[in-house]
Amino acid sequence: MNRSSEEHEAAAPVSAILLMLLTGLLFTALDTSAKYLVVSGMAAPFVAWARFLGHTLLALVLLRSWSNFAMFRVASLPMQVLRGLCLLGSTAFNFAALQTLQLAEAAAIAFSAPMLTIALAGPLLGEWAGWRRWLAVLAGFAGVLVITRPGYGAFGIGHVLALCSTLCYCFYVILTRRMSATETPASLIFYSALAPAILMAPVVPFTASAPPSLWHGVVLVLLGIFGGLGHWFLIKAYRLATTTALAPYPYLQMVWATVSGYLVFQQLPDRWTLGGAAIIIASGLYIIHREHRLRLKNRASPNADTADLADKL
C-alpha cells in the first residue's frame, strides 16, 4: 500500500475524535463515581452490580430492543456468560482497587491491558507476537513495576486488585475476538451488561446498603449511564475511524483521571506513577503502530469491520 493510502486510512474525522474524548470523560466519570461510593462505605460488589443493572436498562433503550431482536440471539450462551463474567471481574476488581488507589494510578495500570492481551493471545488464540512487540510487552511490564514498586513499600492490595482487573479485561477482549465471528455486535453489547447483572444478583442481599445520602443515590444511578453511554460512544467512534487513527485518544483518560482525582479527592499522582504511565503508554502506542503495519501487509477479511467493532466492546 502506498503512502497516500496509509495516510487516508489513518485519517480520523473530528466527529470520531470528539466521540473518543466523550468516551474517556464518561469512563473517568464512572471510575470517579465508583471510587466516591466505595470510599463512602458502600460495598464494591454492590456498586458493580448497580453499574451493570443500569447499563443493561440503557442498552435496551439504545439498541431499540422492541424492534432489534438480533440483540437477543446468541450462538453460544455459555460463552456469552463467560465473557460477561470476565467483564464483571474486571469491573469489580477495579472498583475494589479504587478504595486505596488514586484514579490516575488505577488508570495507568489498566493501560497495560494491550500488552497482557498480546502475551495471552499466543497460547489462547494462536496469535503469536514477533520480537518487536514482545519487547513492547516487556517495556509495558516494566512500567507497571515502576508504578507498583514491589519491595519498596508501595505495593499493596490495591495494586493486586488493579492487576486482577486488567487480567480479567484481557480475557474479556480475547473472548470478544473469538466470538466476533459468530455473535452479532448488538448481542455482544447487551449480554456483556446482562450477564454480570444476573451473575451478581445472588450477592446483592449480602452486600447491598442504602446510600448514605440522596446525592450518593444519584451517583449510584449515574454509574450505569456513564458506563452504557461510554460504550455506546466508543462503538460509534470506531464506526467512523480506524483503530490506528483513534489509538492515541484513549490515553487522554490519564489526564482526565488526574484532573478528576485532584478535583474530587485532592489527590495528585506522584512521579513514579507518571513515569510508569509514560512507559506503558509509549509501549501501547508502539504495539498499535506495529499491528497497523502488519494489517496493511495482510488486508483484513470481509468481516473485519464487524470484528474490529466487537473488539472494542
Distances (CA, A) of 98 to 22, 134, 198: 22, 30, 23
Q: Which of 173-177, 215-219, 253-257, 306-310 has the lowest mean pLDDT?
A: 306-310
Query: pTM (2 decimals)?
Result: 0.79
3-state DSSP call for residue 303? coil
- Could you please report the per-residue DSSP string of 244-265? HHHTTGGGGHHHHHHHHHHHHH
State yes or no: pLDDT of 191 exceeds 60.
yes
Distances (CA, A) of 18 to 49, 233, 248: 29, 9, 13
Residue written as grid cell 431482536: 69
Number of domains in the chain: 1
pLDDT at 247: 67
For residues 303 and 44, which has the higher predicted lDDT (pLDDT)? Answer: 44
Whole-angstrom distance, CA of residue 141 vs CA of residue 120: 14
pLDDT digits (tens, 9 = 90+) for 42-90: 999 999 999 999 999 998 988 888 888 878 888 889 999 999 999 999 9
Q: Please give the grid coordinates belonging to residue 96.
A: 475494589
Domain that holds residue 130: 3-311
Contact criterion met (CB below 8 Å) for 14 and 248: no
pLDDT at 225: 92
Mean pLDDT score of the chain, rounded to an integer?
Answer: 81
Residue written as grid cell 462503538: 235
Contact criterion met (CB below 8 Å) for 80 and 193: no
Amino acid in the structure at residue 168: C
State yes or no: pLDDT of 253 exceeds 60.
yes
Distances (CA, A) of 143 to 108, 159, 262, 281: 9, 13, 23, 9
pLDDT at 53: 94
pLDDT at 312: 38
pLDDT digits (tens, 9 = 90+) for 12-50: 678 888 888 898 899 999 999 999 999 999 999 999 999
Q: Where are the alpha helices (DSSP H) in the chain?
A: 3-10, 14-39, 44-62, 77-97, 103-110, 113-125, 131-148, 157-179, 185-200, 204-207, 214-240, 243-246, 253-265, 271-297, 304-311
pLDDT at 308: 47
pLDDT at 12: 64
Phi, psi of 221 (to 5 degrees): -70, -35
**Nearest-5° Cα angle at 207, 262 to 218:** 50
Over residues 171-183, mean pLDDT: 83
State yes or no: pLDDT of 134 exceeds 90.
no
